[in-house]
């Protein structure tokens, strides 16, 4: 069925369609090549020499790389847990209370979102070098503490934004009803408000996890010489050589990101349909 596109049907006019394909190519071709070359049976990353999974085996044989990946996943998990708690508390406080200086606090909490990463990285470097040195030689995972602290500092405001958007759709009369029926303030919060927030908590958690896993600059500045994290390790590999091993590890992380993104979108879609009912 090829009818004439409607008046405002810009998405179906050929110049725009062509443009969309070109932009799509620009955004995805580099990533597609990266994935493809991770299966290439050649050290040189330009010519196709046949399919192999060798590079993936080499990734898992590289103990340092696996350790770095474990560190990063641990950091992301810890940072996510703390960020969700702090972000939710912040969102609830700003939603529930009226207090002097509220716009100031509100604005201040959005600062870590917009401050350039390099500035925050520098701040963390100085802070953990001079103000509050993280004790060296702590057992794992405590040795990752400084990085977790830095990640929470820039992640929890993102969670707060997501949770607050969800609080906007909360019907306060539900909470009042719970109070009328004898629930204490905390009970009402825990049994009525928090369940309403569940999709936002999950979305916020996924966001915090991705932010932590993706961060390079701040981790680069916060990490001591003895803590190896995944982006820092990959960075040094990228700096010194371009090998299909980097392609393989990147493909794995890419796959992980795609899965997380789709889970987040599914949750969001479900929350939206829930709201309509």
Partner 1 sequence: MNNGIDWRRSLTGFAGLMGPPLGWFLLFFAVPMAVVWAYSFGTNVGISDIEISGTFANYARALEPLYLGILGKSLAFAALATLICLVIGFPVALAISFAPPRLKTWLLIGVMLPFWTNLLIRTYALIALLRDEGLINHGLELAFGWAGFEPLRMMHTNFAVMVGLVYVHLPFTVLPLYAALDRLDRSLLEASLDLGAGHIRTIWNIVLPLASAGIASAILLTFIPVLGSYLAPDLLGGPDSQMIANVIERQFKRANDWPFGAALAFMLMYLTLFGIAMQSLLKRRERPE
| Residues that contact partner 1, how many (by CB under 8 A) | 87
Q: For 45-57, b where at least 16 C-beta lie within 10 A, e where not — what string?
A: beeeeeeeeebbe
Give strand pairing partners of 53: none
Contact (CB, 8 A) for 266 and 209: no
110-149 mask for partner 1 (x: CB under 8 A)? Answer: -xx-xxxxxxx-xxxxxx--xx-----------------x
Q: Output the DSSP codes for 178-233.
A: HHHTT--HHHHIIIIIHHHHHHHHHHHHHHHHHHHHH--HHHHHH--TT---HHHH
Chosen residue from 73, 77, 260, 271 binding partner 1 by CB under 8 A: 260
Q: Which stretch binds partner 1 (CB under 8 A): 53-61, 73-81, 151-159, 194-202?
A: 151-159
Smallest separation (angstroms) from partner 1 to the CB of 188: 11
Site residues for partner 1, 50-79, by CB under 8 A, read none
Chosen residue from 174, 187, 261, 275 binding partner 1 by CB under 8 A: 261
229-258 mask for partner 1 (x: CB under 8 A)? Answer: --x--xx--xx--x---xx--x--xx--xx
Contact (CB, 8 A) for 225 and 209: no
Greatest pairwise CA separation for the chain in angstroms: 73
Smallest separation (angstroms) from partner 1 to the CB of 254: 6
Smallest separation (angstroms) from partner 1 to the CB of 266: 11
154-173 mask for partner 1 (x: CB under 8 A)? Answer: x-x---x-----------x-
Told to check if 104 binds partner 1 by CB under 8 A, we report no
Q: How far is CA 69 from CA 40, 75, 87, 246, in A?
A: 23, 10, 26, 13
Query: Distance between the two ends of the chain, CA-based, in angstroms?
Result: 35
* Residue 230 CB burial class (10 angstroms; 0-12, 13-18, ≥19): buried
Chosen residue from 75, 92, 147, 208 binding partner 1 by CB under 8 A: 92
Helix or strand or coil: residue 3? coil
Site residues for partner 1, 25-44, by CB under 8 A, read 26-31, 33-34, 37, 44
> Please, which residue, 124 or 162, has the CB nearer to partner 1?
124
Task: Identify the sign of the CA torsion 180, 182, 185, 191.
Answer: negative
Told to check if 277 binds partner 1 by CB under 8 A, we report no
The CA distance from 37 to 47, in Å, is 9
> Please, which residue, 93 or 138, has the CB nearer to partner 1?
93
The CA distance from 249 to 234, in Å, is 9
Chosen residue from 174, 185, 187, 275 binding partner 1 by CB under 8 A: 185
Chosen residue from 68, 84, 86, 223 binding partner 1 by CB under 8 A: 86
């Amino acid at each position: 069925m090829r009818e004439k596109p409607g008046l405002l049907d810009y998405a179906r006019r050929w110049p725009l369609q062509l443009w969309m394909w070109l932009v799509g190519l620009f955004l995805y071709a580099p990533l597609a090549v990266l994935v493809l070359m991770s299966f290439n049976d050649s050290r040189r990353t330009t010519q196709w020499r046949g399919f192999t999974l060798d590079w993936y085996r080499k990734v898992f044989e590289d103990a340092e790389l696996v350790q770095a990946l474990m560190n990063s996943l641990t950091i992301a998990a810890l940072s996510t847990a703390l960020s969700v708690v702090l972000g939710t508390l912040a969102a609830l406080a700003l939603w529930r209370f009226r207090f002097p200086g509220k716009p100031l606090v509100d604005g201040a909490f959005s600062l870590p979102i917009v401050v350039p990463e390099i500035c925050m990285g520098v701040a963390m470097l100085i802070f953990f070098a001079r103000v509050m040195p993280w004790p060296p030689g702590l057992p794992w995972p405590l040795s990752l503490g400084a990085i977790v602290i830095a990640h929470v500092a820039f992640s929890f405001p993102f969670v707060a934004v997501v949770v607050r958007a969800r609080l906007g759709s909360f019907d306060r009369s539900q909470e009042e009803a719970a109070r009328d029926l004898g629930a204490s303030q905390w009970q009402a919060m825990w049994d009525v408000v928090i369940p309403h927030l569940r999709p936002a908590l999950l979305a916020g958690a996924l966001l915090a996890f991705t932010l932590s896993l993706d961060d390079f600059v701040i981790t680069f500045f916060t990490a001591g010489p003895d803590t190896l994290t995944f982006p820092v390790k990959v960075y040094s590999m990228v700096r010194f050589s371009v090998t299909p091993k980097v392609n393989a590890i990147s493909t794995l992380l890419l796959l992980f990101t795609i899965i997380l993104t789709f889970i987040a979108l599914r949750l969001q879609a479900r929350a939206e349909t829930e709201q309509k009912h």
